Amino acid sequence: MSSHPKWYVSLLAKYLEKWERDEQAQLILIKGAGRAFSAGGDLKMFYEGRKSKDSCLEVVYRMYWLCYHIHTYKKTQVALVQGISMGGGASLMVPMKFSVVTEKTVFATPEASIGFHVDCGFSYMLSHLPGHLGEYLALTGARLNGKELVVAGLATHFVPLEKLPELEKRLISLNVGDENAVKATIEEFSLHVQLDEDSILNKKQIIDECFSKDTVADIIKSFEVEASKEGNEWIGPVLKGLKRSSPTGLKITLRSIREGRKQTLAESLKKEFRLTMNILRTTISADVYEGIRALTIDKDNAPKWDPPILDQVDDEKIDLVFQPFAEDLELKVPEQEDCRWDGKYENSAYAK
């Protein structure tokens, strides 16, 4: 049995389509194994395929196509998220009708820091958060815990970890798709959440002030001003991380989030497909491979970005990675109900 991400994505898509069509299937329950719900499996795959042209295209196409179907799924879904849920892995948590998190849940979208961008629909999801929290999470890769996820609207319920196995058993024995019945069952176990005093979600005024600025450079300048004020010591480490991130990744990510605010989910996923393929093809920079090397391969945490500073990242070059592909090479997102499961990779121009 293959452990390649392409295999997992294909299998998940196959089962989700089968269950949506199956009248006997009422409730779809997704849970992680061990300490992680889903996190970071594609980075190594990207790096290993860096010298082969479009070696990751199939899995990227399949994943973004699947993301659309997870968002628009017709049956009631519940995600039980007991651990790390990062990057693309979190696309199996946030869009669900019910997403249950615990005190051990950790969420983040750290892709910009390594020269990539927020993908798997997150340029759409983060851009629709209140104020400019989306820009903050996307650019800084800041982590949110379970309570914060519920308050931010990225999860629906907080259940203590020790109660999760019992909730799972109850949901399995329930086996009905009625949303009210599922919700009532989860709420027997869930707690009302109260944010910790130092939660980032209590810093909304500063985040909105700084991360509403037009450019990454202006955001950093505004953040530096706030950092100098009394009581804002929390900003220092966040600023340090921002300044160590890939300048190209930051610029692409900010623009993608801003565009996502005005796009449909389908438009955002098509855009993300273009961005990912252009980044993996090193159309304007090889930062993504340098970022993965420094973070997960050599683990020296000393990436050498090209270009190394924001001022040297040409906006015209950024335009290049956002350009539409030829129509037959775009991600095919089937928006008509009667052909909802069309557009698969095997029927695309790439497979031919």
pLDDT given for residue 40 in this prediction? 55
Q: Catalytic annotation on 89?
A: no
Regions of the chain short of the pLDDT cut 70: 1-4, 33-41
Question: What letter would DSSP give residue 282?
Answer: T
- CA distance linking residue 188 with residue 185, whole number of Å: 5
- Nearest by Cα to 144 from 84, 219, 67: 84
CB atoms within 10 A of CB 347: 11
- Nearest by Cα to 286 from 237, 246, 229, 232: 246
Contact of 104 with 274, CB cutoff 8 Å:
no
Which of 42, 111, 135, 148 is the catalytic position? Answer: 111
Which of 32, 88, 260, 291 is the catalytic position? Answer: 88
pLDDT given for residue 2 in this prediction? 45
pLDDT given for residue 1 in this prediction? 38
CB atoms within 10 A of CB 310: 16
Phi-psi region of 48 (alpha: psi -120 to 50; beta: other; left: phi over 0): alpha
pLDDT given for residue 309 in this prediction? 96
Which letter, b or e, does each residue of 170-193 get, where b requires 16 or more Cβ atoms within 10 Å of its Cβ? Answer: ebeebeebeeeebbebbeebbeeb
Which of 41, 49, 177, 241 is the catalytic position? Answer: 41
| Cα Rg, the chain, nearest whole Å | 20
- CA distance linking residue 101 with residue 87, whole number of Å: 16
Query: What are the residues whose beta carbons fall under 8 Å from the beta carbon of 277, sequence distance 6 or more?
Result: 54, 57, 60, 325
Which of 42, 119, 135, 272 is the catalytic position? Answer: 119
What is the length of the chain? 352
CB atoms within 10 A of CB 291: 26
Bridge-based pairing state of the strands 144-145 and 106-108:
antiparallel
- CA distance linking residue 277 with residue 292, whole number of Å: 16
Helix (H) or strand (E) holding 243: helix 235-244
| Structural domains for the chain | 5-347 (3.90.226.10)
Q: Catalytic annotation on 88?
A: yes
